[in-house]
Structure 1
Amino acid sequence: MTYQSIASAPPTDQELNALVAQARLRNQSVGVTGMLLYEDGRFLQTLEGPPAALSQVWSSIQRDERHEDIELLSEHYVEARLFSDWDLLLYRKREQAPPSLWERLRRRHPLNQYVKGVVRDAFDANEAGLGELFARLASSGWDGDELVRELIEPAARAMGDAWLADDCTEFDLTLGLGILQMAGHAVRYAEDVESLRSKTYSILLAAAPGEGHILGTSLLADQFSDAGWKVEMAFPTSDEALANQLSAQQPDAVDIGLSDAITRQGRIARLRETVKHSRLVMPDQALVVSVGGRLFAEASATAEHVGADLSRQSLAGTRLRVAELVAHAKSVKPRE
């Protein structure tokens, strides 16, 4: 549920912090999570949890004299919590602007300093320049997984943020991701011990039905091919089309990818049906299902919510995690 209200009197920082501390204790006790926005005397809050718990919290909110003109904006069932890590996240407008995306990236990892240039080159369709950069970094000793995790994935998310901010068109975003995808083929992955045990494994790498961004699916193809897997790719327009390819290929695993640039918040329910439909195609085989995309990378949903065995938070290392799941599935007798 989401509501807005007006503060009866503008709270001080101390009063606002006390309000949030009190609300967190209350929310913890009944299993409610959410976020609270405060700016210029107005509140906007989203809460999620079991209906009975939300009803209890809502009654308390309505009795609270610290705000007035309380208006319920929406109340509906959701497929998964969006704020599962927060008893209550508070955001308030700050006089000093927070560090930019690029400043935050540069503080984290040496490769992040290249992200801004990668985004620029992707939007400028400079595939050759990007390929040269990735190849140069690889020859300098950077591991393929590091290049994906610290450079390519942040660049894709920054491009998605540019689209959300209306700094580019959807066409620009899709084309830019395509350039990034093609240049990403310059990234290679070192052979490891696990690959020696997975050469007989097979995987179908599929974009989620209707998904137009295929960066992750394409880069995963390089990962699994380098590890010795038999790889097939699919870009289905429907669950039925995906089911037909699964039936024809009979793989050990399938990865179903959403956009790596945009969160696709409204796709959880549909993706769950896709996973369910895929499992029904191979009832006598323990098919390993992984899902991925920015939606999962930012922990706004988990594999359990869509019935998958793995929700990858990064493309990096996916081949190893899926290999472990396939090996385990083959060692366990299928359930009757």
Structure 2
Amino acid sequence: MPVDETQRPKGPTGWIASLTYKSVATAAPRASDLDLLAGKARARNRSLDVTGMLLFEKGCFLQTLEGPPKAVAELWSSIERDGRHNHIEVLSEHMTAARVFSDWNLLLDGRFADMPREAAAPPAIPPAVAGHLARLVELALNADDLAINTMIAGFAEQGWTSEAILSLLIEPAGRALGDAWLDDRCSELDLTIGLSMLQLAGHAIRYSPSAQSIRNSRYSILLATAPGEKHMLGTALLADQFLAQGWQVDMAFPESEEALTNQLNAQHPDAVDIGLSDAMPRQHAIDQLRSTIEHSRLVVSEHPTVVSVGGRLFAEATATARTVGADHARKGLAGTSVRLAELVRQTRKA
């Protein structure tokens, strides 16, 4: 069924339609077929200002479309008539003030049980940086905190921005440590210590203040790990970024969903960021995270709170392809404070 534009909620201009459906492929596509399909869809979506994701696994499609209501309705009409799939079922259809896939004309994740396919590529690392990254991972696995701090400080002195250090070195290093543990190349203790070393080094990054209007707003945020999450690299590093931008920051490392919702109920922040591990995929945590967000919204229902989620799960295609009900799914740490400030402004104007 197409998005009914008459159901568009009253509120700020620019609200968008979001539609998620699942279907069954009429014939098993090859990896190259799916890539070709995604390439054509990206060009079409870009022209219509539509973003979203497409997941293919075990013969089934799962797709989310988000954009102007008329554009989504047009695409949905075409998708319903497409002979490459059937048994189409709409899972979610609503209006929203913010996109989950704001940076993606179409995010593709394909898994093929009956044919080889290369794993989804991680964010591209410039060749000139790859050697630095490998060295950083080696130092982290050896728990050489002095060398790590010296290395990160050296890049800062050379003029590397905080965004570059986070996105090209610290975050990829965290994921590489997780891969090392998954491949039995290090122990869980080595992983934990390595992440701690990266966290300590990350605190040396200096952030430039943003626009004065943001700094004077004194927005408040609760930075929390997901209930029971042991890894806190991203959550800890976000604190430095938000403090530098003038936010009032509180932190939480709750052991249970109840503990997190109690803190939200007591503080009523303008925004909350719930972080999963930056090293491990944590696919199994999706259902619990969705429940946590639903219950969190209930306790702050009278005080609109922007909900952000992050972690490796949302930095990779497999993770971002799942909707958890958040207002923002960060694919990285850089720029998060500015993006959430924009979303808080939007909620205040509503």
Range that drifts further, 127-136 or 258-267: 127-136
Report whether the alignment pairs 1:288 with 2:288: no
Give the gaps of 5 or more residues in structure 1. 1-16, 36-45, 60-76, 78-82
Distance 1:329 1:194, change over 3 A: farther
* Partner-residue secondary structure (3-state), 1:205: strand
Shift of 1:256: 0.1
Give 1 or 2: higher helix fraction: 1
Range that drifts further, 172-181 or 123-132: 123-132
**Aligned partner (choices 273, 281, 284) of residue 263 of structure 1:** 281
* Partner-residue secondary structure (3-state), 1:204: strand
**Aligned partner (choices 71, 92, 96) of residue 116 of structure 2:** 92
Q: Identify the residue that residue 183 of structure 2 maps to in structure 1.
A: 165
**Aligned partner (choices 179, 196, 211) of residue 193 of structure 1:** 211
Q: Identify the residue that residue 59 of structure 2 maps to in structure 1.
A: 47
Distance of 1:236 and 1:86 partners within structure 2: 31
Structure number with the bigger relative contact order (C-alpha 8 A, sep ≥ 6) is 2
Report % sequence identity: 46
Q: Identify the residue that residue 134 of structure 1 maps to in structure 2.
A: 152
Distance 1:274 1:194, change over 3 A: farther
Larger CA Rg, structure 1 vs 2: 1
Moved over 3 A (4+): 17-28, 56-59, 86-94, 194-199, 301-304
Give deviations 1:62-109, integer Å, cap 9, x for gaps. xxxxxxxxxxxxxxx9xxxxx961577696389xxx9x99xx7452xx
Using structure 1 for the length normalisation, give the TM-score. Answer: 0.71
Shift of 1:193: 1.2
**Aligned partner (choices 214, 224, 231) of residue 213 of structure 1:** 231
Give deviations 1:178-220, integer Å, cap 9, x for gaps. 1111111111111121664454101000000010000000000
1:12-91 equivalent positions in 2, closer than 5 A: 33-34=55-56, 46-49=58-61, 85-86=108-109
Q: Identify the residue that residue 166 of structure 2 maps to in structure 1.
A: 148
Report whether the alignment pairs 1:272 with 2:284: no
Shift of 1:24: 8.3
Distance 1:267 1:48, change over 3 A: farther
Distance 1:91 1:147, change over 3 A: farther
Which amino acid counterpart does residue 305 of structure 1 have in structure 2?
Answer: T
Distance of 1:20 and 1:138 partners within structure 2: 41
Contact 2:55 / 2:321 at 8 angstroms: preserved in 1? no
Shift of 1:18: 9.1
Report whether the alignment pairs 1:300 with 2:318: yes
* Partner-residue secondary structure (3-state), 2:59: strand
**Aligned partner (choices 234, 250, 258) of residue 240 of structure 1:** 258
Shift of 1:250: 1.6
* Partner-residue secondary structure (3-state), 1:212: coil
Range that drifts further, 113-122 or 143-152: 113-122
Distance 1:174 1:326, change over 3 A: same
Q: Identify the residue that residue 244 of structure 2 maps to in structure 1.
A: 226
* Partner-residue secondary structure (3-state), 2:317: coil
**Aligned partner (choices 137, 141, 165) of residue 123 of structure 1:** 141
Give the gaps of 5 or more residues in structure 2. 1-27, 41-52, 63-79, 92-105
Root-mean-square deviation (Å): 3.6
Which amino acid counterpart does residue 34 of structure 1 have in structure 2?
Answer: F
Distance of 1:158 and 1:199 partners within structure 2: 37
